[in-house]
Structure formats: structure tokens, C-alpha cells
Amino acid sequence: MIILIVVVFAILGFVVSNRLKSKFKQYSQTALQANLSGAEIAKLMLADHNIHDVQVICVEGQLTDHYNPMDRTVNLSPDVYYGRNAAATAVAAHECGHAVQHATSYVWLNFRSAMVPVQNISGKILNIVLIASLFGGFALGLPYHWIGYIVVGSYSVMTLFTLVTLPVEFDASNRALAWVQSRNVVTRQEYDMSKDALKWAAMTYVVAALASLVTLAYYIFVFFGNRD
């Protein structure tokens, strides 16, 4: 069953990822009427929100764009940093949306950041216990039901992390779209392109959250479903 779950969501994730790449490629073909690069969009949005301590930098890779709250940098891939199109605008503004969340102490971003070390530890514990469980728990010297408690507990933390990520990502996109529209840096058509691109980007997080929920339900059933 776990193999089936992995295969189903791997296929779903592949489809969504391909759709996302297709949309970004499509929306990268039309030049932005305002003729602003992703880097210029990012710097303008940060300035409009009175954020002056965040640096916009270019990083290698494709779709490697992210905001780093530790060193306060908006990291944009070359296609986004130098791109002058709706796709680059959408991504640059979205990552700046995270910077705005950070600056305004957005509660879900703070919660997600606080969960990062706990989520990392839970992932390591889960890997150890799952390997040990192949030997009936003897590798850890624990009975089967205690293995279940640890697996379900660890995976619950990881699932919660994927769920908390959803409002963070959707809010960043909403902030981005509201700003590009109010600032008039895009036409109506370009706005629709940006919105569609961000929708498909968000779908990758939705798929991850659903996969985590289904896997958690599976583990709960395996370890505790047959108990009286």
C-alpha cells in the first residue's frame, strides 16, 4: 500500500511539476510591457514596503527561487532575475511576498520557521525507526506499538509542516498579485499570466500536503487500525 501511495503521488507531482514548467515557459515568451526585470520588480516591491535590509541576488539553477530569512536575501534564478516577462514578475514578487511576511511578523511564517528544526529532527528519527522496524523493532529494543507511536508522532510533525506551508505560500502569492496590480507594473493580460503561474506553483505544495496526509493516515492504520 505504501508503495502505491508513493507511486500515485509521484505521478501526480510529476504532472503538476511539468505543468508548472510549461506555464513558466509559455509566460516567459511575452515581454513585459513595463520592461522591468525580475530583479527590478523585486527591488521595487521591497522599497514600496519600506524594506531596505533585504538584498536581491541571483542564484544558479531553474526554479530555485526562494527567500532566505536567515541572511535576509531574495534569491532569484537567472531566468527570473534577468527575465522581463509575466513569469519572472510573478516569481520575483512572490519571493518578495515572503520578505514582507517576515518584516510584518506574519504568524504562519513565524510558526513555520519555528517548526523547521523540529521537522528536521522528526525526519531523521523517522528514517532511523523505519529502517529499524524492518527488523521488528529489535534494532531499537522497542516493542512494535512503541515503533508505531514514534513513526506516527514523527510523521505528524512533518505533515503539520506541509500544512502550515500552504497559508504561507498562498499569502505570499496574494501579496504579490495585489502589489503588481496596484503598482500597475503589469497589464491585465500579464496579471492573468502571473496569477496562473503562481496557481500552478502553489499546486506543488498542495500535492505535497495531500501526499503527507494520506501517508500519515496509512501509518496510523498500519500501527493502530487493527487494535481492539
99 contacts 57 by C-beta, under 8 angstroms:
no
Would you call 60 a catalytic residue per the annotation? Answer: no
If we measure between CA atoms, which residue out of 166, 50, 54 comes closest to residue 111? 166
Residue 2 confidence (pLDDT) above 90: no
**What does the pLDDT look like over 52-90, one tens digit per residue?**
999 999 999 988 999 999 999 999 999 999 999 999 999
32 contacts 50 by C-beta, under 8 angstroms:
no
**What does the pLDDT look like over 176-203, one tens digit per residue?**
999 999 999 999 999 999 999 999 999 9
CB atoms near residue 46 (< 10 Å): 20
pTM of the model as a whole: 0.88
- The model's confidence at residue 157, banded by pLDDT at 50, 70 and 90, is very high
- The model's confidence at residue 20, banded by pLDDT at 50, 70 and 90, is confident
Q: What is the mean pLDDT of the chain?
A: 90
Task: Give me the DSSP letters along 183-198.
Answer: TT-S-HHHHHHHHHHH
212-217 mean pLDDT: 90
Residue scoring higher pLDDT (143 or 151): 151
Least confident span in 95-104, 148-157, 218-227: 218-227
Question: What local confidence, expressed as pLDDT, does residue 88 receive?
Answer: 95
122-136 mean pLDDT: 79
212 contacts 25 by C-beta, under 8 angstroms:
no
Q: Catalytic one among 40, 95, 169, 190? A: 95
Residue the block writes with cell 496510523: 220
11 contacts 171 by C-beta, under 8 angstroms:
no
CB atoms near residue 15 (< 10 Å): 12
Question: What local confidence, expressed as pLDDT, does residue 226 receive?
Answer: 64
How far is residue 162 from each of residues 80, 115, 119, measured CA to CA in Å?
25, 10, 10
